[in-house]
Structure 1
Amino acid sequence: MCQNQLFNQFFLQKFTKSLFIAFFSFALAFAQKKMVSVEDIWQKYLFYPQAVEGFNYMKNSRFYTVSEGNKIYKYETLSGKNVGLIAEIPIDFQDYEFNATEDKILLYNQGEAIYRRSFKAEYYLYDLKTQKLIQVSKNGKQSYATLSPDGSKIAFVRDNNLFLVDIATQTEIAITTNGKANQIINGATDWVYEEEFGFAQAFFWSPDSKKIAFYTFDESHVKEYNMQIWQGLYPQDYRFKYPKAGEQNAFVSISAYFLDTKQTKTIDLGAEKDIYVARLQWTRNPDVLAIRKLNRLQNKLELIHADLSKNTKQTIYTEESKTYIDIEFCEELHYLQNGKELILASEKDGFKHFYLYDINGKLIRQITKGAWEASKLVGIDEKKRLLYFTATKASPLERNLFVISLDKGSEKILLAEKGMHKITMSEDCQFFMDEFSTANTPPVYSLYEVSGKKIKDLETNSTLQKTMEGYLISPKEFFTIKTPDTELNAWQIKPHNFNPSQKYPVLMFVYGGPGSQQVENEWNPFDYFWYQHLASKGYMVVCVDNRGTGGRGEAFRKCTYGQLGKLEVQDQIQAAKYLATLPYVDASRIGIWGWSYGGYMAANCILQGNDVFKAAISVAPVTNWRFYDTIYTERYLGLPQQNPAGYDENSPNTHASKLKGKFLLIHGTSDDNVHFQNAVAFQEALIKAGKHFESFYYPNRNHGIYGGNTRLHLYQLMTDFLMRNL
């Protein structure tokens, strides 16, 4: 044997040995990693991310505050240095805010949830000079206590009435007295406004602290929904006003209370009473209110300026749509300090963008433009005439931070890192905090100068990341699916130890509702880890954003108008058929699950796609849009009296006889949002059709189905169902 042959043989032996050692080391490290259990997620809460609690910029943005327990600390923004303890509050508190002179702190504890956003609590005022804590009111818990801009008074809601407290004298007066449960609400929203327009507090201080504008809801004629609370010897009835599609809404009125005269003036909103006031705010003029009025079908939006000193009204802007105007555009209305200009959002060119108008409604300039969405306005620097916003310009899956001139030029990117950037900017636009995450990395909270230069990390979630290193994690991977009609964004989580030569069952997750997005490069803590648990059991998890979802412009989002559940279900079925063609997918074992709108979708998919889906889980689903509320349902379907086919043709109840696969239906009996009635009606339809299925109800649980060990029980239930049936 020659020398080269000897060398080659020696090298081969050494290489093979090294390769074996490397492979063995990798396999050992892989084997040492733990598999995520349902108990890890919902009992031990090992994967719960940390946030920056109680972060607030001070009036001088060179400083900010953070709460830690019952202590509030002051930090220097530029250095991130802890300047010292501002206050040690003698009670625990859930949130806080400073008054205008930053010598008093309004805070609350004992918060008691009512619905999704509404709550009541005990409010206190802490004096930093005297270190005394004063209870705002001793006459019962309050809701939404808010300091006047000058810091001298506090307004709040209690028992459907609006109250005012003078801080100096601690005198409490009732601004309204006619509030009554299930009849009249002052200063707070009714159920449907809170849920669908996204706010619960319905009173607003004028900039000069001399007036309070507020909503009044007359819901005396609105039909009640009755939920039984299952406790004690006899169940208790809980009745609340809930206007279902096509039924009567509450009558809404807008008034202003004048503190000097103690008089209330009601604003004339016009002859048509069947309207919505989607947003109410003061302009920079303390006498002028901005009212954003929508018609019942939500396809006409008016911006009205009501001058209380002159008793005049002027409609300065009107926008109409052949489908609907999305509520998020009502949120984006910003009055400049110069009192001469305003910024609003519209998708009149097919994508959401920002527009500059003068105070009388004359268009000055479209500020942002392009085949992408300007997602959220986060700051306006009036001195430099700059607007800061997040947008989908890089990808519908991402949100990056941009800046643009109000007057000319194109946008400049400030934060380009791929992922989801959520910005909290100081009022003077000198600093911002970025909550940044990706689909596979938990949030990092960082403080920046407005130029984009990082000052420091406030929270990196390093503990969670270290915990994750000890577990088997299969990353989310993004891809697209081409269907006969369009191209859809999707993500997948492959089984651990994935082998492309093997075939795996697939569980699809769906939400799919109008304007929603599940396929985003953003952290989603709990289901992400449940999917890791399923991946350890050999399941592949896939999510697809169907037509009707957000981030891709008006045409893609609004094509489902008038026919909810039709195109969305078609897309999910087509996506499943595509997955079935992949060499590593077991086409006979494709399942789907969803919650709320996703529960509606999952039910429809296993019925209308009964040759594709083997199993489905439907949690808290709408099963008949006639059962759901006016604002949401009519926005996308119109009135049931005018569009009965849109309501019925894609109701799961209509297709109950098509069930072939295994089906699990889950609902909470105290779901104030998607009523348990939906599950009852669907079960009745399935029984009538002679179909066998599984169902589970959670007593006294609302739409979120949580409390105690409820979530642990729920996810164990769903996991067991999948193990048996998929």
Structure 2
Amino acid sequence: MSESFPRLSARTRRFTLGVPRGFTISPDGGRVVFLRTKSGTDPVTCLWELDAETHVERLVVDPRTLHADEEDLPPEERARRERSREAAGGVVAYATDIALTRACFALSGGLHVVELASGQARTLHTPGRVVDPRLSPDGRHVAYVSGGALRVQSLDTGDDRALASPESETVTYGLAEFIAAEEMDRMRGYWWSPAGDALLVERADEAPVRVWHIADPANPDRTPVAQRYPAAGTPNARTELFVLGLDGSRVAVPYEEEYLATAAWDSHALSIVTLTRDQRTMRLSTVDPATGASTLVREDTDPAWIDIVGGVPAHLDDGSLVWVANSEGGHRLFVGERAVTPPTLQVRAVLDVDHDSVLFSASGDPTEIHLWTWDGHSLLPVSTRSGVFSGRMAGGVGVLSEQSLDDEGVSTTVVRRDGMAVPIPSFAERPGLDLRVSLGRSGSRELATAVVLPTWYEQGSGRLPVLMDPYGGPHAQRVLNRRGAFLESQWFAEQGFAVIVADGRGTPGRGTEWERAVLGDLATPALDDQIDALHGVAEQYPDALDLTRVAIRGWSFGGFLAALAVLRRPDVFHAAVAGAPVTDWRLYDTCYTERYLGDPEQQPDVYEKSSLFADAAKLERPLLLIHGLADDNVVAAHTLRLSSALLAAGRQHSVLPLSGVTHMTPQEVVAENLMLLQVDFLKKSLG
């Protein structure tokens, strides 16, 4: 008997296992190191190397041969994986020296170094469990965090010492604090100098952050986990920077802003990027490592907020600054003081700088993400077919990963200097679903929309109940030209629904004015746009959609939007499934929430407008609330407080608590049954 789609999706971590990722290219372009599991159902990630000249691929590290217990992870590593949404195990992260001769990684809290040429791995002795190891550029030392201390070990002598140790249990050196990892995509807290003789290190003190407790009601004998959670309007962790020398020196690098967005240390400069608490001012400064003195390089301001863009700051060989900033309504690439991309091309990220060339991702059409290069003179498209692309570049060699609606899975190729393309195979499982997805624009705002119909549905054979399947929140997209974005939607469609996925205002790819339409109100624009998309699609498919039976489902912000829909517009939406919903934005974190809604003490009315509690008495449609009780991102209090408000108003609803489940649902049985239970609830609710 063949495996059901829900079970296969759960077992393959949504078909991400077996897909090559995490690429590093040698400086001469001859070798590519990457991560991949051995099959589409194997959760243990291995380290591999491809010789671009001979096309020979080699397994470098199989964690199973190192006898590491994958489940025995330090709590800091578990938190890091939750923040990065890492669903696999094994070697899920690694770091190399600049010449790509050695790599280091942590397994089950142990520190390992491998010689890439021979594949000889060794386990290094450490005084404690290891998180986030990184080799010095020359490969002679490895730094890591253990017990909140930043330590360095010499690979020649084995000498291991702490460069900085925590002064209290609330202090860590070398780790990104919660806000940086969850909301700024900064997963690291230290950076090696190019010479390998010093490190820029973050000191984070969580003492000011309020303590919350994540309990496990299914196991009352277990002590609740104390977590410091910076909710909107409350204090953040205090962060500081120090340059720590291997000679024992310690130089403070002062800055006044609330957030350290990122840092970079190359042969041209030690750079730090800081952001004010209101996120309307971003400053790029260079730092003198000897004195800690900073020099302001540029200051960007915006009346709404400044976006943090990955891959910058960086420099060309001549020292020219590579930067991304808002200009003339678009996210534009700057080289030096010059904008080298038009406002209509929305730059997503800088992926690599290879001598005098810049590889970056950008969108003209928001449903597609393409690769471009700036070679010092002109813009050149790298990807030319429709789809979603990512890549790396070094030594004149590129690694391109491609997804589209036309092809299944992820296709990865190494493009050599002579133009020859060398494939890196994917071992991912095939979903076994035929897709019937149409991308287009709908509604008065020309919203990017996907319409997903059952493959068995014949036009004119009757109207289908409708399932809206959004995320809907700012800075995230669902409607992209890739098959993987619609596998679950297609499965729901096969159960008898016309599924609509729409990206409203606030989503990226359409310029700054579009994104900033949600400023001060996370509820009204998001809900209005889903209704606009629904009516627009109904006009395009007048015989296919039954608007008397419309449901909506979502997770996280999508869960908030689903609950919002049945509470505020029961005339449009007749049932909702809200997974891990944010119900009161005062309970969500500082950086994300304050970016859009400001300080709750100064603007309480703005928070009320985006809260669900005041609407509890309006519920007249079936609502299923789902929440993981171990969720440390959107804590279960969101759902429990909304349920209490609904009960106080005498409104019937359903709550499905998930014991031991975090914001992700990697457990196979849980993930499978969640899909089945949602379908059952929606079918019964819509009659």
CA contact (8 A) 1:230 1:236 kept: no
Matches within 5 A, 1:371-390: 371-382=344-355, 385-390=356-361
* Corresponding position of 1:367: 340
Per-residue CA shift, 1:40-89, capped at 9, x if unaligned?
Answer: 4336889566312675423431233456769866543145245x677788
1:623 to 583, 593, 603: 583
Give 1:517 deviation, angstroms: 1.1
1:239 paired to 2:265: no
Structure 2, unaligned runs of 5 or more: 39-44, 68-89
**CA–CA distance in 2 between the matches of 1:666 and 1:176?**
43
* Letter paired with 2:324: A
Task: Provide the residue aligned with 2:66 in structure 1.
Answer: 91
Q: CA distance change for structure 1 residues 601 and 586 in 2, over 3 Å: closer, same or farther?
A: same
CA offset at residue 100 of structure 1?
4.5
The within-5 A match list for 1:23-42 is: 37-42=5-10
**Aligned residue in 2 for 1:487:** 446
Q: What code does the residue aligned with 2:632 have?
A: D
Match of 1:26 in 2: none
Residue identity in the other structure for 1:366: A
Q: Counterpart amino acid of 2:316?
A: L
Query: Is the alpha carbon distance of 1:62 and 1:605 closer, same or farther for their aligned partners in structure 2, counting shifts above 3 Å?
Result: same
Match of 1:400 among 370, 391, 396: 370
What is the Cα deviation at residue 179 of structure 1? 4.7
* TM-fit CA distance, 1:401: 2.2
Q: Secondary structure at the match of 2:518?
A: coil
Pick the aligned partner of 2:150 from 133, 153, 162.
162
CA distance in 1, matches of 2:554, 2:523: 14
**Residue type matched to 1:448 in 2?**
V
SS at match of 1:354: strand
Identity %: 24
TM-superposed CA distance for 1:499, in Å, is: 2.5
- Paired with 1:176 and 1:491, the residues of 2 have a C-alpha distance of 52
The 1:337–1:714 alpha-carbon spacing in structure 2 relative to 1, beyond 3 Å, is same
CA contact under 8 A between 1:547 and 1:557: conserved in structure 2? yes
1:434 aligns with 2:395: no
Distance 2:96 2:570 in 1: 58
Which amino acid in structure 2 is aligned with residue 295 of structure 1?
Answer: T
Match of 1:500 among 459, 477, 487: 459
| 1:532 aligned partner | 490
Paired residue for 1:573? 531
Matches within 5 A, 1:223-622: 223-230=210-217, 232=219, 234-260=221-247, 262-270=248-256, 275-285=258-268, 288-328=269-309, 331-338=311-318, 340-357=319-336, 363=337, 365-382=338-355, 385-393=356-364, 395-406=365-376, 408-409=377-378, 411-425=379-393, 427-438=394-405, 441-449=408-416, 453-459=419-425, 464=429, 468=432, 473-483=434-444, 486-501=445-460, 502-524=462-484, 528-581=486-539, 582-622=542-582
TM-score normalised to structure 1 length: 0.84
Residues 590 and 150 of structure 1, relative CA distance in 2, 3 Å threshold? same
The equivalent of 1:28 in structure 2 is none
Q: Higher mean Cα deviation, 59-68 or 348-357?
A: 59-68
Change in CA separation of 1:137 and 1:631 when aligned onto 2, cut-off 3 Å: farther
Q: How big is the shift at 1:298?
A: 0.5
For 1:176 and 1:579, the matched residues in 2 are separated by 59
Select the residue among 682, 696, 709 that pairs with 2:656: 696
Contact 2:401/2:410 (8 A) holds in 1: no
Contact 1:480 1:489 in 2 (8 A): yes
CA distance in 2: counterparts of 1:571 and 1:231, whole angstroms: 39
Structure 2 residue identity aligned to 1:459:
P
Instruction: Check conservation: 2:315, 2:353, Cα contact below 8 A.
Output: no
1:16-55 aligned within 5 A: 37-42=5-10, 50-52=18-20, 55=23
What is the CA–CA distance in structure 1 between the aligned matches of 2:660 and 2:48, rounded to whole Å?
40
**Matched residue, 1:15:** none
Residue number among 141, 152, 156 corresponding to 1:153 in the alignment: 141
SS of 1:234's partner is coil
Letter paired with 2:296: T
Q: Say yes or no: does 1:60 pair with 2:28.
A: yes
Structure 1 residue 646 displacement after superposition: 1.3
Using the alignment, how far apart are the partners of 2:46 and 2:652 within structure 1?
57
Q: For residues 419-440 of structure 1, what are the alpha-carbon distances to aligned partners after superposition, in whole Å with 9 as ceiling and x for unaligned?
A: 1111122x22333333333376
Q: Deviation digits for residues 79-112 of structure 1, max 9, x if unmatched?
A: 5245x677788526515454445554423322xx
Length, aligned pairs only? 652
Cα distance between partner residues in 2 of 1:131 and 1:524: 34
Rg comparison, structure with higher value: 1
**Residues 669, 698 of structure 1: 8 Å contact kept:** yes
* RMSD, matched Cα: 2.7
AA at the equivalent of 2:232 = A
Cα offset, 1:654, TM superposition: 1.5
**Structure 1 pair 289/460, CA: closer, same or farther in 2 (3 Å)?**
closer
What's 1:143 paired with?
Answer: 131
Deviations 1:209-255 (A, max 9, x none): 11111111122121111111346552311011111111111221111
Partner of 1:707: 667
Residue 565 of structure 1 and its aligned partner are, at CA, apart by 1.1
The secondary structure found in structure 2 opposite 1:252 is: strand
CA contact (8 A) 2:362 2:371 kept: yes
Contact 1:496 1:538 in 2 (8 A): no
Provide Cα deviations, 1:682-723, integer angstroms capped at 9, x if missing partner: 111111221101110001211113324111121121121112
Matches of 2:59 and 2:625 in 1, distance apart?
A: 52
Q: CA deviation at 1:309?
A: 2.8
TM-score, with length taken from structure 2: 0.89
Q: 1:396 to 1:307 in 2, by over 3 A?
A: same
Cα gap change, 1:292 to 1:56, in 2 (>3 Å): closer
